[in-house]
Amino acid sequence: MKRHGRETEGPTSSHSSKSGGEGSEASPFLTQPEELRRFFHLSARETAAIESVSRVYPLKIPRYYASLFDRTATRCPLSRQAIPSLEELNSCSEADPLGERHISLTPILLRRYENRAVLLVSNTCAMFCRFCNRKRLFKEGFDPLPYLEESLGRIARERSLREVILSGGDPLMLDPDLFFEVLSRIKDIRHVAIVRVSSRVPVVFPEGLKDRHLRALRRQEPVWFVLHINHPKEVTREFKEAVRALRRSRCVLVSQTVLLRGVNDCPHILKDLFERLVVLAVKPYYLFHLDPVMGTEHFKVGIERGIEIMRILRATATGLAIPHYVVDIPGGLGKVPLEKHGIRARVGHRVHLESPIGGEGVYIDDAAESSCLRCGLCRGCGKGVKVKDGGQKAKKKGTAQRYEAKKMEVPMEISGEKAQDGGRNSYDLK
C-alpha cells in the first residue's frame, strides 16, 4: 500500500507471524478440534461433529476466551458462540442475505446508504463467531490488500460520503502500522467527518489490542469505536482494562449486541450487560436481530420475544442502557427499528418491514421457542413464562394484521447479587 510515494511492507496482521502459526503451542488461538479435546470433556462423537463442521466453517477461538468457558455447564453462553455445532450444517438460509455483493463499490468497499460506507480492511478475526453475518467469508476467503488503494481513492472521489466504518474481519487484527496507515489516509479525506472502528478484539482477545493500535487511534482522534459484546460474562478484568485504554486514547465508545437464542435472549441478562457497559462509559448502541445467514438458524430469536425484552428493559434499566433494537431487512434494504415504526404488517411468519431507503422487505420470523436461560438474575428464574416466538397468529389465515407487541407483566424485582467479572480471568489453557 502506497502513501506519498512510500509502500507499507511486512505482515498485514500483528498476530499471523507468531512462531508455529495458529493452533501451535506458541499461538494464542485454538484452531484444531483435537486442541479443544485437551481442555474440554468431549466425547469421540462430539469431536467428530466439531471436525465435520470445521471443514465447512473453520474453528478459531482465542485461548483467553476459551479460559472463560464454564466447562461444567450444559449451556455455556460463551462456548455456544465459539464452538462449532452440527446445527450449522442444517441450513436453508442464504450466504449473503443482506446483498453486500450488490452494494460493493469495490470488492472491499460497501455502500448501502448515501452518506456512509463500510471498508473491509481485514480478512481475519480474533475468533470465528458461529453467528457471523459474513460467515460466507470463512469459506471463500478474501484478501483486502490488493483493493485498498482503489477503495481509498473511491472514498476520496465520493464527496457525499461523510462516514467510513472500518470492519472486516476485524480492523484490530491488522498490523498496527498498516492500521494507522489506513486510518490516517481516511482521516486525510476532507469530506469524511466520522470514522468508526468496529471490533470484537477487546472482548474476545484483549491482548490483541496493542499499544501501537492505541497510539494510532489517539493520533487520529476522535474515532468512534464499536465494541461487539453479547454477554455479561464477557465483561472481565481484561476487557475493562482494554476499555480504559481505549478511553485514554480518546475514543468514543459504543457497543453492539446480537440477540442470540440460548445466549442472551433474556431481559435480565441484557440489562446486566448493558448496565455494566454504561458503568464503563460505553453506550449500548445497537441490539441486532439476527441476520438470516446460512448456518445460524439455531441462534434465531422471534421478533415478538425481542420486542418484549426491549419493553422490560425500558421499564427496569437506566435510560442510558437502552440500545436501538433493529433488523437488517433481507435483500439489502437497510436497517429498520423493530419496536415502533418498522413493522407494517405480518402474514403468518412473514413480517413486512418498511425500508429506510424506500420500499418494503420481508423477514421470515420462524424462530424456535425461547425459554428461561436460568441466568440467576431474577426471582422467577427457571419458572419464567415461555413465549411462542413464531409471532402472533393472524386473526384469519392468510390475512395481514397490524402488529402490536404482546403485553406482559414486567418483573420489577430482581434478586440476587450481581456476579463478579465473568468466568475465570487466568490464562489456564496452555
Q: Which residues have a catalytic role annotated?
A: 112-113, 116, 125, 129, 132, 134, 291, 328, 335
Measured distance CA(297)–CA(428) in Å, rounded:
32
Contact criterion met (CB below 8 Å) for 33 and 173: no
HEC secondary structure over 371-414:
CCCCCCCCCCCCCCCCECCCCCCCCCCCCCECCCCCCCCCCCCC
Residue 4 is classified by DSSP as: T
Roughly how many angstroms between the first and final C-alpha of the chain, as a whole number?
A: 37
47, β-bridge pairs = none
Q: What is the DSSP letter of 26?
A: T
Count other Cβ atoms within 10 Å, centred on residue 9: 8
| Euclidean distance between CA atoms 112 and 334, whole angstroms | 7
The answer to whether 362 and 350 have CB atoms below 8 angstroms apart is yes
Of the candidates 121, 162, 93, the one whose C-alpha atom is nearest the C-alpha of residue 8 is 121
Contacts with 211 (C-beta within 8 Å, 6 or more apart), sequence order: none
Q: Categorise residue 169: left if φ over 0, alpha if ψ from -120 to 50, beta otherwise.
A: left
CA 388 to CA 345: how far, in whole Å? 18
- In 200-349, DSSP assigns E strands to 224-228, 252-258, 283-288, 324-328, 335-337, 343-347
| Other Cβ atoms closer than 10 A to 250 | 14
Q: Which three cell numbers stand for residue 234?
A: 464477557
Whole-angstrom Cα Rg for the chain: 21
Cα–Cα distance for residue pair 400/5, rounded to 1 Å: 61
Task: List CB contacts of 273: < 8 A, sequence separation 6 or more.
Answer: 229, 230, 231, 232, 235, 257, 264, 284
